Amino acid sequence: MVKYLCCAGLLKSTWDQVCVAFWQRYPNPYSNHVLTEDIIFREVTPTNCLISRRLLTKTSRAPRWMERYLPKHMASSAYIIEDSIVDPQKRTMTTLTWNISHARLMSVEERCHYRINPENGSWTEIKREAWISSNVYGLSRAIQEFGLARFKTSVTKTMKGFEYVLAKMQGETPSRTLAETATEKARETALAAKEKAKDLASHAQKKQYV
């Protein structure tokens, strides 16, 4: 049995900008899990389509119950193949990615299709499909559910990373990352707690001399 997911996304940037950002999206604050990217193959077809294949290395920490099924050196990293076709005449870009690490345990295939949004020519829409499967007897359903949940989280980070890179390309100030926002909130909370502690200490000292 295979888990299937289909969802759509929208980037408020032109198709050309999105294609350029696609090749420049690493690193960004939402992709700390991407360690390396290497071009394996690239060519331009007679119809001027750009065909590329890349190898991505990512951190991919498996849950504890799954780690016992993996060699130690493979439990925290994964290798991903990414194929892409950019068609400048049809104004489309199609990508296909799949994992070559842990494939016997869990296989994740993703297909993305980028095209100009028909309602707004300055925006780009993305159709994303994913197929998640596992052949581990007795655990396939649990593994697929885990893979599906992780994939959904990954999609959110991917879109935020895309928006971040596009904003930088267009000379805009990227919105703050969750980490930056959390850090600022923590500082504000710590400062408020410090001031409150000083106030309580001051009141306690006054009572002592009354």
What's the residue count for the chain?
A: 210
3-state secondary structure of 96: strand
Give the whole-angstrom CA distance, residue 64 versus residue 146: 12
Six token digits for residue 210: 């009354």
Amino acid 137: pLDDT: 86
pLDDT along the chain (210 residues), means of 10: 94 96 93 92 96 92 63 71 97 97 89 98 97 90 91 93 93 58 53 61 55
Give the whole-angstrom CA distance, residue 210 versus residue 205: 9
Domain ranges of the chain: 2-175, 177-209
Amino acid 74: pLDDT: 55
Give the whole-angstrom CA distance, residue 104 versus residue 68: 14
pTM: 0.77
**Cα 193–194–199 angle (5° rounding)?**
95
What is the Cα gyration radius of the chain?
23
Amino acid 175: pLDDT: 58
The pLDDT tens digits for 138-157 are: 889 988 998 999 899 999 99
For residues 60 and 78, the answer to whether their CB atoms sit within 8 Å is yes
Amino acid 102: pLDDT: 80
Amino acid 179: pLDDT: 44
Own/partner long-range contacts of 54-58 (Cβ < 8 Å, ≥24 apart):
54/81, 54/82, 54/84, 55/79, 55/80, 55/81, 55/82, 56/80, 56/81, 56/82, 56/97, 58/33, 58/34
Amino acid 178: pLDDT: 41
Amino acid 77: pLDDT: 78
The pLDDT tens digits for 152-190 are: 999 999 999 999 999 999 887 665 544 444 455 555 665
Q: What is the CATH number of domain 2-175?
A: 3.30.530.20
